[in-house]
Amino acid sequence: MFQRKMIPLLAVMMTALMLIISGCGSAANNAASANKDTAAQAEASGANSTASPKVELLVSAAASLTESMDELKTIYETAHNDVNLTFNYGASGTLQQQIEQGAPADLFLSAGKKQMDALLDKGLINSELSTNLLTNDLVLIVPGNSAVQINTLEDLEQAGNIAIGTPESVPVGKYAQQTLSYFKLWDSLQSKLVMTKDVKQVLSYVETGNADAGFVYKTDAAVSDKVKIALTVDPASHDPIEYPAGVLTGSQHPDEAKAFYEFLQTDEAMEVFKKYGFNPAE
């Protein structure tokens, strides 16, 4: 009798035990699966955190290159997603002084050979990674709505303010000075001259009517619908307008700097420069 009563009880206990074991196994499997997912997430997170950061290339470039270099930045960064280009635009003479004083830069693009040569002489530019990249033309501009008739440089005698870049630090100003001296107008126009920090300021003064005329590069006049070209200056009256490019010897990323330097000389880059009015150097 006792044995018959125990059999159902044992069956109930065995069933309960099996349910407990089954539950524990399921919990263990769930825990293992969760641990595996957590480990995978941690591994992925670790991989992301250890991914190499983008290389920051610092390029000091003449202000007249702003539009073309901004477009080339987009093209280059799209093809090289491990590189980020940062531009420091300004007057070539100012950029030269910044580099001489230790300002960080990987490449230098000047609107004048004089500034590049000065850095080459001081060993700040790699002579094997330096070249004459582009050329440009000097033009005289007036406001788009100007009624002043300027057909020759001598007509500037009848104009009011004339904007030019400061010759000591702004190459376009130096070329303008050479031109006015060549035509024996430099001294007689002194009272009319308004000196600016770079070519973009010359353009701004003429656009806003703060100057009746100004000397800029052809490429600067081409990107403004608020000015018109009164005349193109005779290139025989000034030094050749050359745009040299070079990699700094102190570049923190020499390989990436060299790669971008070489890209600037490709047909693809030259098409962009031509679009903005530059000419490839011969």
Question: Would you call 153 helix, strand, or coil by DSSP?
Answer: helix
To the question of whether residue 194 is assigned a binding role by annotation, the answer is: no
**Count of beta carbons in the 10 Å neighbourhood of residue 132:** 15
> Can you name the residues that pair with 196 across neighbouring β-strands?
165
Helices 113-121 + 171-182 axis angle, to 10: 120
255 within 8 A of 217, measured Cβ to Cβ: no
What is the spatial distance between Cα 64 and Cα 172, in angstroms, rounded to a whole number? 9
Helices 66-79 + 254-263 axis angle, to 10: 120
| Virtual torsion, Cα 204, 209, 212, 215, nearest 10 deg | 10
**Single-letter residue type at 39:** A
To the question of whether residue 205 is assigned a binding role by annotation, the answer is: no
163 within 8 A of 205, measured Cβ to Cβ: yes
Q: CA nearest 262: which of 93, 130, 75? A: 130
To the question of whether residue 272 is assigned a binding role by annotation, the answer is: no
To the question of whether residue 237 is assigned a binding role by annotation, the answer is: no
What is the spatial distance between Cα 72 and Cα 270, in angstroms, rounded to a whole number? 10
* Sequence ranges of the binding site for molybdate: 64, 92, 199, 217
* Sequence ranges of the binding site: 64, 92, 199, 217
